[in-house]
Structure 1
Amino acid sequence: MKFSEFNKEEEWADLAPYLDTCLLPVTGLTGEETPPEAADKAAEAGKWLQPLELAFRGRTVTLPAYHYADVSDEGERERLVRYCERVKRSAYRYLIVVTGEAGWTAQTIPPADLIAGPAEAGEEPDPEALKRAVAALWKGIRD
């Protein structure tokens, strides 16, 4: 479910016990992109997000996208890490960061329970592999 689908606090209170996992799309913009480049980065994150939203509707909540996160900049990376820590404390047992940026690992954003994104530039999402990774997370299996 998307965060905007909850229109009343009571709805969230009733559903929260079943929605223990949030998906946080992170675009990875630096502010130096042209509009087409920014659109491409957002689309790349969306390609990785869509299979997760489809497979786990009713168990996950998709948060608003975190767009400006140049993780090569230590200050920006730390800001994203603090944001992820707050999100987890607020309501979720599991946080899955979804990005179209290549090479992010568990060390990139330590509060994330899973990073869903390409290992290498140009890699396309494998919906079955993504589903297995989330299922393993829920079963407590770590790499």
Structure 2
Amino acid sequence: MDGLVKELTIEMLPEGPYKQIAEAIGPENFYRLAEVVGGATIYIPKPESLTRPVRDAHIKAEFNGYNHPELARKYGVTERWVRQLCGPGQTEGQIELFELLEGMTGAGESGLSSTRFICKLHKTASKIRVEATLLLLFFAVKEAVNTWT
């Protein structure tokens, strides 16, 4: 049979998907495909389904914690998909609240007074999201209550 395969040409195949496949991969490779799955009903995935793991690996490798939108545009996926792959990341300029508290209250043995803490917190509030604003309000109220009592 192998000798007959070498004489098989694309023109000998019927019009339709078989001929299209043979044109794409060649008549000998089409014959090999028929040897593997001939007679079976199979599903052939779209090309993007085959390359999805490679795309996702590229997204993970290029993720820097802040570039969800850029990666989504570059790879034609949603920001939600990038977040699912890479996690929430950090908003640019955002620092961890506990890092801030540790850095501000750890200065010296007694730490910072509430007033100095509020001043320092106020200076960095533009870099911090709503959590810091709420914390600032909490300390201001605490300071006011302490002065009234």
The answer to whether TM tops 0.5 is: no
Q: Which has the higher contact order (CA 8 A, sep 6+)?
A: 1
Give the TM-score of the pair, scaled to structure 1.
Answer: 0.21
> Hey, which of these two has a bigger chunk of helix by percent?
2
Which structure has more strand as a fraction of its residues?
1
Instruction: Tell me which structure has the larger Cα radius of gyration.
Output: 2
Calculate the TM-score normalised by the size of structure 2: 0.20
